[in-house]
Amino acid sequence: MDTQQSSIPLLKLRGISKSFPGVRALSNIDFDLESGEIHALLGENGAGKSTLMKILSGIFPSDAGEIYVAGKLVILDGYEAAMQVGIGTVYQEFSLVPFLTAAENIFLGRELRTPFGILRRREMRELSAKLFERLNVHVDLEAELRHLSVAQQQFVEIAKALSINARILILDEPTSTLTPTEAQHLFAVMRDLKRTGVGIIFISHHLEEIFQICDRITVLRDGENVATVPMKSTHINALVEMMVGRQIEQSFPAKPMRSGLGEVVLEVDRLQINRHDPEDSFVVRAGEILGFAGLVGSGRTEELMAVLGVTPAHHKVIKLDGKVIRLNDPADALAHGIGILPESRKAEGLITSFSILINISLNRLSSLLHWGMFVDRGRERREASAAAARVGVKTSSIDLPVDSLSGGNQQKVVLARWLSHHIRVMLFDEPTRGIDVGAKAEIYRLIREVSASGCAVLVVSSELPEIVGLCDRVVVFRQGHIVATLEGDAITPEIVMLHAVGGERTHV
Amino acid sequence: MMRRFAWFRRQSTFYPLVGLIVVGIVMAATSSTFVSLANFSNVLVQVSINALIAVGMTFVILTGGIDLSVGAVMALSGTIAAMLMVSGVNATLSLFVCVAAGFAIGMINGMCVAYGRMPAIIVTLATMGVARGLALMITGGYPVDGLPEWVRGVGNGHVIGIQTPIIVMAVVYVIAWVLLELTPFGRHLYAIGGNEVATRLSGIRVARYKMLAYVVSGVTTGIAAVVLTGRLMSGQPNVGEGSELDAIAAVVLGGTSIAGGRGSVIGTLLGALLLGVLNNGLNMVGVSPYAQIVIKGMIILLAIYIGRERRR
């Protein structure tokens, strides 16, 4: 029996590949999960973890490759198919209904009914209680889900997965929202499940956690399986190296020689979003590019939005050129010459159905008036054309809708809008997300140009090469706050990643 | 030629215009009296009240909002003006107060929606109740009669041979068109409806402009109340029940997207005319008023269906 188990893994992936338009998300992935094993999946943002997980939970099919569960070839053409073969997934964002109880959530869509179609509530509640007993956790079965703690909600998710007799459990960053104590409880539950023969795929960015609980670790990078190693025979630096070990692309403009530091333009002093948060401070100087590094969800965008006054902050002092200014609305920021290229160009940057022209002149109309009232359309057109040409928007006409442009050109339109103003500070939030390599190089060149013109530039990026190749100084975020500031030669992928994942704590 | 036609088809006023022409032809074919100057003039006067309310409604809907309070606001503004006149206040001043009352309630709506971040549909439903209740309270539920005779001129008079409601409507539409098409204010309203977050992040004071849209709606409703007071020669607390639906229908029939960001006041005028011609024609043919409501409802559904297809 034992020998058979080790020769036939619980889950076996062979040659899994997946492409999206313009991106190769996964190429030729092999992956094994044994029964009773906790197997970590590790990698940078965009390394392909989520894609792999979505293929396993049947959300979309792979382009090529085979999946075997307990030695049998399976086709996962939907969420139900994945459930049927015993693959249960706990998503990063919970897929639970906040106004239903735990039991109602567990049986959602698969409710037990009497022959007359009436719900068998008591039976469902008893079965739920048994599941929680098996997990050895206490969850109030009467309470609506929104009244439970985040950790308890997570256990409800796990119970839901187990209720379909999952033998393979995928946990996608389950600890990102848990306190350390709650995380320990989750690990205890995971060990219990492991003993009953469940195989667990554990996705996490926190290396210390991975070392605490996992048996084997698979590192993905750029959609490829870099290595699968037993936990006992590796160490944290080796893993970081595997995660980031890519050549920095040569698409970055040369960093200027630093002849002394520029003047401090923007100073954010003791920013506190919520009352008891630690205080974060940083400065951006003229002619420098400051990087905000960190993992997705590490709080970088939140701090930018609080600085601009888009969202409220409990406490903040912002100085521009040494003078305290009040920013309660992005309009105040515009008045002080602070521009933002938001994280999502479709949702926050552009009015996609409107023309390129209108998108560029959007926040400039009040200075394009004649007779003090009417938009001077001739001047508007000339200025917008000039701005579009300056950033190199490739289009046959600026009257075309902005969604006719490629992603890179759309970003240039957002930038053109700000460059028509006298801008002192330009904030870029994930400026190259979802655009192709050639366009990225152009955006990098534009960012460097903006910086060279004496503007203070801040770039939020989750892509290490970008942080390393573009930024003169780097602030690293972890779990909502600044944990390190790096300069010069200290900006290496390994050091940035180490701070971002909190690896250095395991050395202490 | 084909390209020019394709351009024309993409305009939000294309379908309302086609609809108006089709309905017009059908009416002209079935009724001998439909095509006459007197009847056209009659239709224009008939639609003027709804067209005035609908033009302000267009501003609100362009931002992605809605104003349900208009019918009740018209009743309140009208009764306030009538009571002022009856108590001896100068008639011109009273009519000015009539518009000012619309302005004030529009301001309250706008403050709640834009700065209070409350949902427009609930805010204006509530102010609809408040305005209607106030109109009934101050009048005791009875019409206020005995207005100065010259007020009749506002609703039924002629200026250079054209009936005053038509002139008022024309002036308001020209101003509205200029505001929306030629000024930053109008452009920002479209932008807010197109993508509110992006507009705000680009440094536009979104809340201020959203509030102003409701103010415009209140003002045009106040102007509609002036015309109505002149036509009825009394202030009636029960008028305007269901006006909000007619106004929204005119806006939607006129090709303005209910989600905001797309549309025009010309479309709204066409929409109001379409409803008016339909009304007029069905009356002439002798369709029962009850059946007319059913037909109107179905036409609105059709308009929304066509609008949905076009958005792809």
Whether B239 shows a pLDDT value over 90: the answer reads: yes
Mutate: best of A362, A381, A420, A425, partner B, most B CBs <10 A: A362
Is A237 found in the same domain as A376? no
Cα distances (Å, whole numbers) of residue A477 to A39, A348, A502, B145, B153: 27, 23, 10, 72, 71
Is A141 a member of any domain? yes
Largest CA distance in chain A: 89
Strands laid side by side in the A280-285 sheet: A280-285, A264-272, A315-320, A323-325
Whether A144 shows a pLDDT value over 90: the answer reads: no
Lowest mean pLDDT among A159-163, A208-212, A257-261, A436-440: A257-261
Residue type, A358: I
Nearest CA in chain B to A372: B183
Is A113 a member of any domain? yes
Tell me the percentage of chain A whose pLDDT exceeds 90: 27
Q: Which of A207, A222, A194 is nearest to A464 (CA)?
A: A222
Is A202 found in the same domain as A328? no
Give me the mean pLDDT over the A413-417 stretch: 94
Query: Distance (Å, rounded) from C-alpha B90 to C-alpha B133?
Result: 26
Tell me the percentage of chain B whose pLDDT exceeds 90: 59
Query: Distance (Å, rounded) from C-alpha B289 to C-alpha B275?
Result: 13
A187, A209, A244 - which closes a domain: A244
Is A140 found in the same domain as A268? no
Give me the number of domains chain A comprises: 3
Cβ <8 Å between A310 and B198: no
Is A6 found in the same domain as A115? yes
Is A130 found in the same domain as A86? yes
Residue window 211-240, chain B: list those with CB within 8 Å of chain A.
Answer: none
A197-216 pLDDT per residue, tens: 899 999 887 777 888 889 99
How does residue B308 score in pLDDT terms, banded at 50, 70 and 90?
low
**What is the β-pairing status of strands A216-221 and A38-42?**
parallel
Is A369 a member of any domain? yes
Is A379 a member of any domain? yes
Mutate: best of A310, A336, A351, A374, partner B, most B CBs <10 A: A351
Is A345 a member of any domain? no
Give me the count of residues in chain B. Answer: 312
Cβ <8 Å between A375 and B187: yes
Domain range enclosing A398 = 351-421
Q: Which two tokens stand for residue A368?
A: 């394009």
Is A67 found in the same domain as A155? yes
SS3 labels along B27-89: HHHHCCCCCCHHHHHHHHHHHHHHHHHHHHHHHHHHCCCCCCCHHHHHHHHHHHHHHHHHCCC
The answer for B253, left when phi > 0, alpha when psi is -120 to 50, beta otherwise, is: alpha
* Residues whose CB falls within 8 Å of the CB of residue B132, separated by 6 or more in sequence, listed in order: B71, B72, B75, B76, B237
Is A186 found in the same domain as A219? yes
pTM of the model: 0.79
Is A177 found in the same domain as A223? yes
Is A255 a member of any domain? no
Is A443 found in the same domain as A310? yes
Residue B173 sits at the chain A interface (C-beta within 8 Å): no
CA–chain centroid gap for A447, Å, is 22
Whether A506 shows a pLDDT value over 60: the answer reads: no
Query: Distance (Å, rounded) from C-alpha B29 to C-alpha B41?
Result: 19
Q: Which of B312, B288, B267, B291 is nearest to B18 (CA)?
A: B267
Tell me the percentage of chain A whose pLDDT exceeds 70: 93
Q: Is the ipTM of this complex over 0.90?
A: no
Is A273 a member of any domain? yes
Whether A414 shows a pLDDT value over 70: the answer reads: yes
pLDDT of residue A5: 46
Q: Which residue has the tokens 């007197």?
A: B38
A421, A454, A481 - which closes a domain: A421
Angle between helices B164-182 and B265-285 (to 10 degrees): 150
B129-186 pLDDT per residue, tens: 999 999 999 999 899 988 888 888 888 888 888 899 999 999 999 999 999 999 999 9
A213, A244, A275 - which closes a domain: A244
Is A344 a member of any domain? no
How does residue B4 score in pLDDT terms, banded at 50, 70 and 90?
low
pLDDT of residue A385: 92
- SS3 state of residue A372: coil
Is A197 found in the same domain as A54? yes
Looking at residue A503, which CATH number applies to its domain?
Answer: 3.40.50.300
Q: Which of B272, B280, B278 is nearest to B54 (CA)?
A: B272
B44-60 pLDDT per residue, tens: 999 999 999 999 999 99
Q: Which two tokens stand for residue B88?
A: 């001896």
* Residues whose CB falls within 8 Å of the CB of residue A348, separated by 6 or more in sequence, listed in order: A342, B195, B197, B198, B201
Q: What count of Cα atoms within 13 Å lies in the side-chain half-sphere of residue A130?
A: 9
Is A299 found in the same domain as A169? no
Give me the mean pLDDT over the B90-118 stretch: 95
Question: Strands, E, within chain B: which ranges?
Answer: 158-159, 162-163
Is A436 found in the same domain as A378? no
